[in-house]
Amino acid sequence: MAIGGTTPPPGAESPLSTEPANNGQQPLRDAEINDSPQTLPKPVGRGIGDRPECFKNTLQEVLFVFMATIAMATNTFLTGSTVVITAAVGADLDMSQSQISWIAAAATLTAGAFQLTLGQLSDLIGRKIIFLTGMGAFSAGSLIMAFSQNPFWFNILCGILGLASAMVVPPAIGILGAAYSVPSRRKNWAFACFSAGNPLGFALGSIVSGVATRISDWRAGFIFIAILWALLGLASCWIVPDVEAYDKSSSFLARVKAAGKAFDVLGTILTVLGVGLLTASLTLGPADGWRTGHVIAMMILGVLLLVGFIAWESYWPNPLMPLHIWKDKTFSILLLIANLGMMSFMSSNFWLSLLFQEVRHMDALDVAVHLLPQVIAGVIWNIVVASLLHRVYNSILVAIGSLAYVAGSVLLSQQEADSFYWAFAFPSLVVTVIGADFHFNVANMYVMTSLPSHQQSLAGGIFNMLVRLSTTIGIGISTAVYSSIQATQGAQGDEFTAYRGAFYVSVGIASLACLFLPFLRLGTQGNSPKSEQVPDRTAEVAQTTEPALPRDGKQA
């Protein structure tokens, strides 16, 4: 069998083992000898998999998976809730076009810049306390945002909400990864629900904000979000289990002191500034011009800081992003494909929402209703992929998702300004979410096996930082194309031509992802091991012995 819950194609090398099997028996692993069982949740029960002991009962387990899904959806929920009200907010606060562009960009900037930092802090200080802090901060920030009176503070608060949304994802995925340490169908279902949060958050945010805006105004939506997240935060005090990477006998002050010694301060500075400047340049470029001095300076400096970050990570003993994980060919190609797909997906959603508002003159509620099929389809496709992860080679699932991205983007690019919704937009919404669901499920499952249990939050932070950054890059590129076409056509040009150009960017990015599919070799994930008493921590050996890393998805 394949270690780590991954069963590769016949004749292929195991993605989590480089040692040959012995007479059909499970290969011996150093992780089995060096495990610290007291730090891992013990399974309880049978069936499709064992319930981790950290959950008092199945109800708490189900509620936590739901709460983790909410955490994953928080950032895209914020993006969706703001995109559908940009026109209303811009008019109410008398915003310029540049200020309007920062409504969504500010949240994405902070969410991406702080993901790695918050991932390491969650593992060092405590996952539950970071999670609860993030829920509280998101609620408080939403309430304050409802009373914004000028563009400056509105965009600042968008950035604060982005940071709060980033605080809840690493601890949620860290607890999931550590709790479900044994590969099983139960783990597949838990991660499928969790992965659904990212693609569904955008549409759900649009619906909530749209309904609130129709009933009252855009401020009512943020008041509702503040109340909802406050209630969810209070419920989390009971729902979220204590699955921590630290010694539970240590005090909070002792953990903070130890974290101060191990925390990658310089890496944090480099990644926050690097991602922040790069994101800012991509946001300002379309509005201010790509040749302007400050845009060029921010882009160059951002790239240089990120290069410096990579160099520093190879030196620091407790890095924010362990570089050895990128030596795994399957890991690198899978994340490349998944992030290219997300660039296409989020860009398509962004421009489709604007198309509904600016060209077809829908209000916020109408936009939300037209995006609703994506939510329903997303739930259905997640159920499908959860039942396939342990049965179908995951490289096939990734290929299906990539082709779905291409098909959905092509549909949007071929429509006209007054095209029938059911002929183009509707099938596109249903199809593109296949890519998001399939890619996120496969990638999340694989990423969590690439780092040991005490670094599960960090593993989630790595993946989500790349997702946020790729989202910004995708929207930045499509915005540049949109602005270029608009400038070329002038005031007398066809308004929809610029939108078609933005949709073609999504087609191109999704097609680019397909070029890497032949190099991805990945079998099934989530098959229960022969002995469920042995946790899936092969990757922990990789922390000290890099050759034990997964390589190329081939079987021993």
Q: What is the pTM of this model?
A: 0.76
Give the pLDDT score at 539.
40
CATH topology (fold) of 6-20+41-263+318-548: Growth Hormone; Chain: A; (1.20.1250)
Element (H, E) at 7: strand 6-7
Query: Per-residue pLDDT averaged across 531-552, rounded?
Result: 38
Distance CA 246, CA 249 (A): 9
Least confident of 232-236, 266-270, 520-524, 534-538: 534-538
Residue with the bigger pLDDT between 457 and 358: it is 358
Number of H helices, E strands in the chain: 19, 4
Distance CA 305, CA 271 (A): 7
Neighbouring C-beta atoms of residue 20, cutoff 10 Å:
9
Least confident of 105-109, 147-151, 225-229: 105-109
Distance CA 189, CA 176 (A): 11
Residue 523 has pLDDT above 50, yes or no: yes
Residue 456 has pLDDT above 80, yes or no: no
Query: Per-residue pLDDT averaged across 406-418, rounded?
Result: 92
Least confident of 123-132, 212-221, 520-529: 520-529
Using the 8-state DSSP alphabet, how is residue 25 labeled?
Answer: B
CA-derived radius of gyration, the chain = 23
Residue 186 has pLDDT above 60, yes or no: yes
Give the pLDDT score at 472.
80
Residue 47 has pLDDT above 60, yes or no: no
Element (H, E) at 426: helix 425-448
Give the pLDDT score at 429.
94
- State the maximum Cα–Cα separation within the chain, in Å, rounded to a whole number: 75
Residue 470 has pLDDT above 50, yes or no: yes
Give the pLDDT score at 163.
92
Give the pLDDT score at 75.
86
Q: Which of 136-140, 168-172, 496-500 ranks highest by mean pLDDT?
A: 136-140
Residue with the bigger pLDDT between 161 and 26: it is 161
Element (H, E) at 331: helix 329-354
pLDDT classification of 323: cutoffs 50, 70, 90: confident
Q: Tell me what the pLDDT averaged over the chain comes to.
A: 80
Give the pLDDT score at 135.
95
Give the pLDDT score at 12.
43
Residue with the bigger pLDDT between 397 and 174: it is 397
CB 102 within 8 A of CB 283: yes
263-319 tens-digit pLDDT? 888 988 998 898 888 888 887 777 777 788 888 999 999 999 999 999 998 888 888
Give the pLDDT score at 511.
96
Share of the chain above pLDDT 70, in %: 84
Give the pLDDT score at 427.
96
Give the pLDDT score at 145.
93
pLDDT classification of 528: cutoffs 50, 70, 90: low
209-249 tens-digit pLDDT? 888 888 888 999 999 999 999 999 999 999 999 887 666 77
44 phi/psi in degrees, rounded to 5: -130, 130
pLDDT classification of 529: cutoffs 50, 70, 90: low
Q: Give the N- to C-terminal CA distance of the chain in Å, as an integer.
A: 9
Residue 201 has pLDDT above 80, yes or no: yes
Q: Which of 223-237, 365-379, 517-531 ranks highest by mean pLDDT?
A: 223-237
Q: For residues 7-19, b (16+ Cβ closer than 10 Å) or e, as one string?
A: bbbeebbbbbbbe
Domain spans in the chain, listed from the N-terminal domain onward:
6-20+41-263+318-548, 264-317
Residue 435 has pLDDT above 70, yes or no: yes
